[in-house]
Structure formats: structure tokens, C-alpha cells
Amino acid sequence: MKLFVSGDAVARALGADELAAGLASDAASRGFTVVRPGSRGLCSAEPLVEVETAAGRVAYGPVFEEDLASLRPVLFDGGEHPKRLGKLEDHPFLKKQTRLTFERCGLSDPGSLADYRSHGGLVGLAKASEMTPSAIVEFVTQSGLRGRGGAGFPAGIKWKTTLEAPGARKFVVCNADEGDSGTFADRMLMEGDPFLLIEGMLITARAIGAGRGYIYLRSEYPDAIRVLGHALDIARAEKLLGPSFDIELRIGAGSYVCGEETALLESIEGRRGQVRAKPPLPAHHGLFGCPTAVNNVLTLAAVPYILANGAEAYARHGLGRSRGTMPIQLAGNLKNTGLFEAPFGMSLGELVHEIGGGSASGRPIRSVQVGGPLGAYFPPALFDTPFDYEAFSQRGGLIGHGGVVAFDDTVDMLKQARFAMEFCAVESCGKCTPCRIGSVRGVETIDRIAAGDRRNENLTVLTDLCETLKYGSLCALGGFVPYPVMSALEHFKEDFQSPRPAASRAAKRNP
């Protein structure tokens, strides 16, 4: 029998290692093996402990060291306890999900390839190895899978271009830079089901004819680096990786813009992470000048399911041109935070109120930023927007990598707009003047508005600046920072007026 003590970074950050240590001798004396799986996705219930019983896995959470004394006598039989959550499959947060990519995360042992196999892993790869590269590409095109890194570009089309590009050497590069605030799906997947990503990359390599793969993983994720590194070692030892295709793990160095695919390639090559002008596309002229498919972790991790279950099985979920499921990340001031994988199409309000349970602080939710630091802020009036690429874009927003960050009514939206500009200034790669200089001007202009200095003129200056950024930027860092700024201005005008009630509300909370 097994005792599962979550090994996800969230759980460890809240003391799960101490829990595992504290339960080790009890587990041993009762014949239980302690396993450290990834997260089952309910971050607000971490650290999570699950015990195998005759009736299935019984969960407890959040469990802290002070719970151990009362938990020990009942835990191994799945007995009653204030922290008992029962079977997680029946928990509303999980019950409403459709888990295709995260089907195994939190259930299997991320340190065991055998366990990955016994949970249905490597079936997609076996199918792919009997298919021609172009048949795999066609299959993925049929599934409707779009890139999950933010831009939503069809994966099949990118692969086709890479496959058809002439070149003796080709690469598959996994973008694991996940820099967007409010997102953690890549991290959770790499910690919870690393072999799925490896399998996805193996299939991609076969589809495009790549002999080598790279995973560019941000340095801010020490747990993911450790777990994935270990999984790569195992995959090599078990000959899944080897001379015909190997994967190298590369660690980022704290630069947000290196998540942009061409900056990322520059970074792997050993240069400053400056964005390259496109064309040429990476598919033609990518890493070390060779045809390269750059894909997000979740894009690559969706591929084994598609191969194993068929393009139609994936495509039948979703809405319009957004096919399949999206691992949505509920973050910020919500009661139930975590990873929620669902078909496209659920409304933002449903996500925030029904799934997320409303704010953690108990105050009304006033604003939700979707899609990371370059995503728009939506007011409750737009909560009927369905979660899908096109619907968000029609309303002046984007879904990006699927992060949903909720703020309660103590938020000062002028401050949020200022932060967006400041972040752009800090992270700009410096290539375009509007982004490098304009973002600094943006911060100064917002400061003047806050101070009540020629408010109307400065609001016009800010709007003009955003126009310049939108049209004069090479990449989406400068090009999209108008989303958070202008949405704050449009939907939360009162925070830019004088007097600023938001400032005094926020001051109460954030001295």
C-alpha cells in the first residue's frame, strides 16, 4: 500500500517534506511505502496527503505538522478527521474537470518510468513510431491543437513547416520559461508527470525529423529542474533517450523576455536574450540556424493523448476554433486556487465564482487579469466572456497561457497599470525604442496622473503611448503591455480620477 505526500513545489513550500519525514516511521511499520507525487491540482488544499485504502485513495488537506498527532491514528485506514477531503474524484473542483493533459498528474510517481507506463504512458509514442512523420503532423493538425504558450498558433502547421524545411539538423525546443504571473501549469506538469513531456518531445521529434531536443526551463523553478532532470536521467538509462534523440535541459537566468521564442533561442546559443525579427521563422531558421519547432510545455504534453486516443477524441472538446482542453490556472485572491483543466468555453465568471469559490479574503472580486502580465484586466461586467481565444480577443483581452488572477475590491487599478509599465521597462530586451523608452515614460505619466498633475493631458499622453507601443514593437512584450494598461483605464476609470478612492481603500490593506 502507498501513502502519497504531495511533492509539488507548493506542498513543499508549505512543509510537505517535514510531513513526509514525520509520517515515515508510521508508514513503514504499517507496511506503507511513501510516494511523493505531483499535485492533484487543488493548490488551496496543499500540502495534500492521500492514503491507499481498499475503497480507493482518501485525501486529507491541507495537512500541517500540528495535524499529525491527531491524524496518525486514523490516516492509514482513511478514517474521519477534520482535514479529510474524501475521494478527490468526488471533490467539486476535480469533478468538473476534463483531464486529458493532466490525467496522470498527482496520481503517478514522477520518479518512476514503470509507473508512468502502468498509468498508460508511452502508448502515444508506440502509435507514432508506426506512423510516418507527415502522418503524425496530419494527425496533430486534425486534432486542432493550438500552441498553449500564449499565441495559440496551430501546432500542426508549425510542425509541417519544420518538417518540410530543408536541413540536415533539426531541433525541437520546449519552452518551459513560464514567466507569466498567475501561471504554473508547466511547472506542475513537469513536477508531476515529467515523462509525459519527454514522450511529447519524442513524438514531436519523430514528426519533424529532429535529432536533438532542448528544454529551456526557468531558474525560478528549482523543484521542476530537479524532478525533470531526474526523469531525463531515467529516460536515458532506460534507452528512451539516446544517440538518435536526446534532450538537454537548459536553465534560464531570470529574464522574462527569454520566454519569447527567438529570444529563447538566442539565450540557448549563449547570447543576450534579444528578440529576433521574423521572418525568418524558427521553423526555417531556428536554433543554431537549423529548422526548429519551439513549443510550450503544455502543447507538447497534449500530444501523447492525441496520438493515443485519436485526433477526434481531442477535437470533440472545445468551442469554435479553440479545440481540446485548456489547463486553466486559478490564482491570486481566490478561495479555491489551482489547476483546472476544462474544455474551452466556460465563462470567466463561472471560473472565478463557482470553481474558484470567490475571493479568499471574503471581499467582492473587482478585477481579474487573464493571460499574465500582458493580459487585460476584466471587470465583473465582462465575466460572461467564454474562455476561448477568439472570445477574449473580441473583448480586448487574451487568454495567453491560461492564468486567471483575481483581485478583490482593495485593488488600486492605477497601481496595476503602473506595474505593467514598470514590468515592461524592467524586462524589455532593449531592441525597440517604444518598448525600452516608452515604458519608462509610461510609468512617469501614470505617476503624474496619480499626483493629479494635468490629469486629462496625461491621460491622453498615456493613451498615445499605448498606441505607439502597440504598433511600434517587435514582440508582444512592448506590443501587448497596452492590454493591462488600457483595460485598467477603460474599465476602472474611477481609479484614475481625483480623488482616488481606490488609493485609500488599498492603503487600508497595503500599508
Partner 1 sequence: MPITKPFDLAEAESIIRKHASVEGPLLPILHELQAHFGYIAAEAVPIVASVLNLTRAEVHGVISFYHDFRTSAPGAKVVKLCLAEACQARGVHEARTRLESTLSVKMGETAADGSVALAPVYCLGLCGNGPAALVEGRAYADLNHRGFDRCVKAVKS
In angstroms, what is the minimal distance from the CB of 477 to ligand FMN? 4
Residues 38-97 contacting partner 1, CB under 8 A: 43-44, 46, 64
In angstroms, what is the minimal distance from the CB of 450 to ligand SF4? 24
CB 171 within 8 A of CB 212: yes
Measured on CA atoms in the order 288, 291, 296, 302, is the torsion positive or negative?
Answer: negative
Whichever of 125 and 475 has its CB closer to ligand SF4, that residue is 475
Total residues binding ligand FMN (CB under 6 A):
21
Whichever of 107 and 297 has its CB closer to ligand FMN, that residue is 297
Applying CB under 8 A, among 217, 406, 435, 449 the residue interacting with partner 1 is 406
Interface stretch with ligand FMN, choices 83-91, 148-156, 353-361, 492-500 (CB under 6 A): 148-156
Distance of CA 498 to the CA centre of its chain: 38
Q: Which entry of ligand FMN, ligand SF4, partner 1, none binds 177, CB below 5 to 8 A by partner kind? A: ligand FMN
Residues 202-261 contacting partner 1, CB under 8 A: 219-224, 248, 250-256
Total residues binding partner 1 (CB under 8 A):
66
DSSP state of 18: H
Other residues' Cβ atoms within 10 Å of the Cβ of residue 82: 8
Q: What whole-number distance in Å separates Cα of residue 80 and Cα of residue 78?
A: 7
Applying CB under 8 A, among 4, 195, 423, 480 the residue interacting with partner 1 is 423
Whichever of 225 and 461 has its CB closer to partner 1, that residue is 225
According to DSSP, the residues that pair with 114 across neighbouring strands are: none
Q: 432-435 — which CB contacts under 8 Å span 24+ positions?
A: 432/472, 432/473, 432/474, 432/478, 433/472, 434/465, 434/468, 434/469, 434/472, 434/473, 434/478, 435/469, 435/473, 435/474, 435/477, 435/478, 435/481
By beta carbon distance, the residue nearest ligand FMN is: 147
Q: What whole-number distance in Å separates Cα of residue 250 and Cα of residue 174?
A: 10
Q: What whole-number distance in Å separates Cα of residue 285 and Cα of residue 161?
A: 11
Residues 435-494 contacting partner 1, CB under 8 A: none
CB 32 within 8 A of CB 3: yes
204 phi, psi to nearest 5 deg = -60, -45
Whichever of 356 and 479 has its CB closer to partner 1, that residue is 356
Q: Which of 429, 159, 171 is nearest to 289 (CA)?
A: 171
Q: Which entry of ligand SF4, ligand FMN, partner 1, none binds 360, CB below 5 to 8 A by partner kind? A: partner 1
Whichever of 203 and 376 has its CB closer to ligand SF4, that residue is 376
Q: How many residues does the chain have?
A: 511
In angstroms, what is the minimal distance from the CB of 278 to ligand FMN? 10
Residues 354-393 contacting partner 1, CB under 8 A: 360, 369, 373
In angstroms, what is the minimal distance from the CB of 261 to ligand SF4? 12
**Residue 291, C-beta contacts closer than 8 angstroms, at least 6 positions apart:** 162, 165, 166, 167, 170, 171, 208, 282, 283, 284, 285
Q: What whole-number distance in Å separates Cα of residue 200 and Cα of residue 304?
A: 6
Q: Which entry of ligand SF4, ligand FMN, partner 1, none binds 175, CB below 5 to 8 A by partner kind? A: ligand FMN
Interface stretch with ligand FMN, choices 19-27, 143-151, 315-323, 487-495 (CB under 6 A): 143-151
Query: Footprint of ligand SF4 on this chain (CB under 6 A)?
Result: 257, 275, 428-432, 435-436, 473-475, 477-479
Residue at grid coordinates 533539426: 170
Work out whether 495 is an interface residue with partner 1 (CB under 8 A): no
Q: Which of 41, 177, 61 is nearest to 101 (CA)?
A: 41
In angstroms, what is the minimal distance from the CB of 439 to partner 1? 15
**Residue 163, C-beta contacts closer than 8 angstroms, at least 6 positions apart:** 133, 134, 137, 207, 208, 209
Binding mask 171-210 for ligand FMN (x = CB under 6 A): ----x-xxx-------------------------------
Count of alpha carbons within 13 angstroms of residue 216, beta-carbon side:
32
In angstroms, what is the minimal distance from the CB of 259 to ligand FMN? 2
3-state SS assignment for residue 194:
helix
CB 365 within 8 A of CB 352: yes
Q: Which of 330, 336, 408 is nearest to 46 (CA)?
A: 336
In angstroms, what is the minimal distance from the CB of 396 to ligand FMN? 18
Whichever of 22 and 479 has its CB closer to ligand SF4, that residue is 479
In angstroms, what is the minimal distance from the CB of 473 to ligand SF4? 4
In the complex, the residues that contact ligand FMN under the rule CB under 6 A are 147-151, 153, 175, 177-179, 257, 259-261, 294-296, 299, 475-477
In the complex, the residues that contact partner 1 under the rule CB under 8 A are 9-10, 12-15, 43-44, 46, 64, 178-184, 186-188, 219-224, 248, 250-256, 267-273, 288, 329-334, 337-338, 360, 369, 373, 403, 405-408, 411, 416, 419, 423, 427, 509-511
